Amino acid sequence: MKVHVWDIPTRLFHWLLVSAFAGAFLSSHGDRFLEFHTSLGYIALGLVVFRVLWGFAGNRFARFSGFLKGWQSVRGYVASAARLHPPRFLGHNPAVGWVVLFMLAMVASIAISGIVTYGGEENRGFWAGVFSFEAGYNARVAHALLADLAIAVVVAHVCAALFHDFLLRENIILSMFTGTKEDEDTYAERVSHIPPHHDVRSVLRLIVWGVVAVMGGLALLYLRPAGRTDFLRMPQPNVVDDKGFASVMKVNAAWMEECAGCHNAFHPTLLSADSWKKVMMGLNDHFGEIVTLDAAVSEEIGRFLLSASAERSTTEASRKLMRSLRGLPAFDRITDVPYWKAKHEDIDIEVFKRKSVVSRSNCVACHPGAELGSFEDHDIAIPE
């Protein structure tokens, strides 16, 4: 006989939260779907508030008093599960009861940190101006970390459900759709005719679905729509050292002060080592200007430029640039490099004369990530 366990509000909450979280996560990369992402965050927070209230007003399986057990009960259940003989519960088992509370707190924290980010860093929404930019920036970091943690928790949650199915031969995921489960007598009668859970086919099923759950989590993390790059969270590109190890490029203070202080900071990954040597040796006639640097400072800047030159860079732009230079002499202008010319040959010369662009060398006008060595196609925006 079937027993009604999960009421309609509990089931609606569960699957609406799944949908809201998945949608918010998939729309979190870049600003293209920011309003949609924010709306889903508010929906998720509203669902959490509802579930907390329903934890006092729902049926006995939905109420916190029905599934939040003491430490002894939790420890006993975990120990029995570790021995592969967990007891069956109609509602949440003692361990999952506390996991439910943790997940509610985690989703609420993600939503609240998102609200602070939206109001402080983006200066948008109902809370615009209430939170400082610094608060919004810090909240963004917490927001991203919590979201990634949530993916791990969700994958663990699904794997635990699969493990439950494997050990107890009960599809609890299906029960969250139907709302019903078997009573004790019906369950005992059914499982008494099923072969032991350690048969090869059952183990393979568990492994296959476990891999599917993990791969699904990884897909959420790494296969989100690209959208525009979030440059506030983007580090400098990786460069390879003399030993062949790649690490994030560290910006040199002298280079920033002496070079970027006079003109746009042309990223060191945009020219070859030979080109940077040519530039540094020609400071007496630096594109029509005489540049005077202290010998030690000049040497320091030179070392930095060589350590982060196109040969050392791991970016797509740098590697294609180097490929275009094969057999050619060193260029001291980025705009003379064959790869640069090929990429920009279809752009009307009048575009470079616009007040918003000024010249061919003003990379940042169309590439907002130029100072970070990022020239991704989806970030290009030619100003009017």
Average pLDDT, rounded, for the chain: 85
Q: Are residues 31 and 55 in the same domain?
A: yes
Instruction: Read off the pLDDT of each residue in 325-340 and give the average, rounded to a whole number.
Output: 88
Under the banding of pLDDT at 50, 70 and 90, the label for residue 197 is low
Q: Are residues 148 and 249 in the same domain?
A: no
Q: Are residues 90 and 143 in the same domain?
A: yes
Which pair of tokens denotes residue 360? Answer: 């061919």
| pLDDT of residue 219 exceeding 80 | no
Contact 366, 351 (CB under 8 A): no
Share of the chain above pLDDT 70, in %: 91
Q: Which of 222, 255, 283 is the last residue of a domain?
A: 222
Contact 44, 13 (CB under 8 A): no
DSSP structure string for 52-93: HHHHHHS-TTTSHHHH---HHHHHHHHHHHHTT-PPP-SS--
The residue segments making up the domain with residue 305 are 238-379
Q: Are residues 208 and 247 in the same domain?
A: no
CA separation, residue 88 to residues 165, 167, 190, 280, 332 (Å):
11, 10, 14, 74, 73
| pLDDT of residue 108 exceeding 70 | yes
On whether residue 54 sits in a domain, the answer given is yes
State how far the Cα of 43 lies from the Cα of 60, in Å rounded to an integer: 25
Backbone dihedral region for residue 23 (phi beyond 0: left; psi -120 to 50: alpha; all else: beta): alpha
285-324 residue pLDDT tens:
888 888 888 889 889 988 999 999 999 988 888 888 888 9
Under the banding of pLDDT at 50, 70 and 90, the label for residue 202 is low
Q: Are residues 46 and 92 in the same domain?
A: yes
Q: Are residues 156 and 282 in the same domain?
A: no
Ordered alpha helix ranges (H), the chain: 8-26, 34-57, 64-67, 71-82, 94-120, 133-168, 172-178, 184-191, 200-222, 253-258, 273-281, 295-307, 316-324, 338-344, 349-352
Identify the pLDDT of residue 205.
62
Hey, is 310 helix, strand or coil?
Answer: coil
On whether residue 366 sits in a domain, the answer given is yes
| pLDDT of residue 170 exceeding 70 | yes
| pLDDT of residue 90 exceeding 70 | yes
Q: Which of 189, 222, 255 is the last residue of a domain?
A: 222
Phi, psi for residue 248 in degrees, rounded to 5: -65, 130
Contact 192, 343 (CB under 8 A): no
Q: Are residues 217 and 252 in the same domain?
A: no
Identify the pLDDT of residue 47.
95
On whether residue 159 sits in a domain, the answer given is yes
In terms of pLDDT, which residue wins out, 193 or 146?
A: 146
Q: Which of 222, 256, 272 is the last residue of a domain?
A: 222
72-86 residue pLDDT tens:
988 998 888 888 788
Contact 338, 291 (CB under 8 A): no
13-59 residue pLDDT tens:
999 999 999 999 888 876 668 888 999 999 999 999 999 999 999 89
Total tally of structural domains belonging to the chain: 2
Contact 41, 114 (CB under 8 A): yes
Under the banding of pLDDT at 50, 70 and 90, the label for residue 277 is very high
On whether residue 256 sits in a domain, the answer given is yes
On whether residue 344 sits in a domain, the answer given is yes
Q: Are residues 346 and 371 in the same domain?
A: yes
State how far the Cα of 23 lies from the Cα of 29, in Å rounded to an integer: 11
Which residue, among 70, 72, 64, 69, has the nearest Cα to 105 in the 3D structure? 64
Q: Are residues 65 and 160 in the same domain?
A: yes
pTM of the model: 0.59
**291-309 CB burial, b ≥16 within 10 A, e <16:** bebeeeebebbbebbbbbb
Domain CATH number, residue 209? 1.20.950
Q: Are residues 331 and 216 in the same domain?
A: no
Q: Are residues 160 and 301 in the same domain?
A: no
